[in-house]
Amino acid sequence: MRVLVLQHIACEPPGVFEDVLLERGAELERVELDEGEALPGSLAGVDAIVAMGGPMSVNDEAEHPWLVAEKSLIAQAVRGGLPFWGSCLGVQLLASSLGAQVRQGAAPEVGVLPVHATADAAADPVFAGLSWPRPTLQWHQDTFDLPEGATLLATSPAYPHQAFRVGRVAYGVQFHVEIDAGMADEWAQVPAYIASADAVLGPGGLDRLLADFRASMGEMQADGRTLFSRWVDLWA
> What pLDDT, in 10s, does the model give residues 194-217?
887 788 888 778 888 899 999 999
Residue 164 has pLDDT above 90, yes or no: yes
Q: How many other C-beta atoms lie within 10 A of the C-beta of residue 65?
A: 10
Amino acid symbol at 102: V
pLDDT of residue 76: 97
Catalytic residues: 88, 176, 178
pLDDT of residue 202: 86
Q: What proportion of the chain, given as a percentage, has pLDDT over 90?
A: 85
- The answer to whether 26 and 2 have CB atoms below 8 angstroms apart is yes
pLDDT bucket at 123, cuts 50 / 70 / 90? very high
Task: Please give the mean pLDDT across all residues of the chain.
Answer: 95
Q: Is this prediction's pTM over 0.85?
A: yes
| Across 76-84, average pLDDT | 98
The distance of Cα 91 from the centroid of its chain, to the nearest Å, equals 5
| Across 133-137, average pLDDT | 97
Task: Write out the DSSP string of 188-214.
Answer: TT-HHHHHHHHHHH-TTHHHHHHHHHH
pLDDT of residue 198: 80
Domain 2-235 matching CATH 3.40.50.10320: the answer reads: no
